A and B are shown apart, each in its own frame.
Chain A
């Protein structure tokens, strides 16, 4: 499975934008880039995913580098509820393929 590299932790102030980076230099042509987040004592929550083009949804934006070897999850205005561990995961379109979780980035949001 292609691996991803994320910073262990990041801090942000409330109501400021947050840019969470992810490196995936060994990504294959069919790998989608998925982002999930996990709050304490909860299962992972879907945030966003994309293949080549930048993506926006109500939770966040995903900026994908032209060579697809890196991506950035953008939270436009961090709130205290956004404090969580964010996971960047690569996954193909094989139905039986599972997701391999790395350590993720622990985001702290300061009031």
Chain B
């Protein structure tokens, strides 16, 4: 089946620095990818929709200047947390839909990336 991979799986950064998380669709092309954030013992919350070759669409309350999303190719989307603060520490998850597959209605998720800001 389709595979979505994230890197890094975990990262620790100092407060005030920026960190980039990559999301790749390994065996299919994804013109649209989604970024979620999940705090401990809570459900996934959609942050933004990443569109290849155009600007991302952010959910209400998500700062677009803080969470920079770039979707420069059909297999790669990146999320950059700029000027990270401890409250940005969370589990970040990306997903993509393999529209070309027979089961094109299925969305596949990455393994997630733990961000800890100290």
Contact = CB atoms under 8 A, between A and B. Distances in A.
A96 B32 contact: yes
Nearest to B43: A101
A87 B106 CA distance: 14
Contacts of B114: 41
By secondary structure, the B interface counts as strand
A109 to B, nearest CB: 19
Given A98-B34, A98-B49, A103-B43, A32 B105 contact: yes
The contact size tier of chain B is 20 to 34
A91 B107 contact: yes
Contacts of A95: 31-32, 97, 99, 104
Interface residues of A, number: 22
Contacts of B103: 49
B112 A42 contact: yes
Contacts of B51: 96
Interface in B99-118: 99, 103-112, 114
A30 to B, nearest CB: 10
Interface in A55-106: 87, 91, 93, 95-96, 98-104
20 contacts: A34-B106, A41-B114, A42-B111, A43-B93, A43-B109, A43-B110, A43-B111, A44-B93, A44-B109, A46-B109, A49-B106, A95-B31, A95-B99, A95-B104, A98-B46, A98-B107, A99-B34, A99-B107, A101-B44, A104-B43
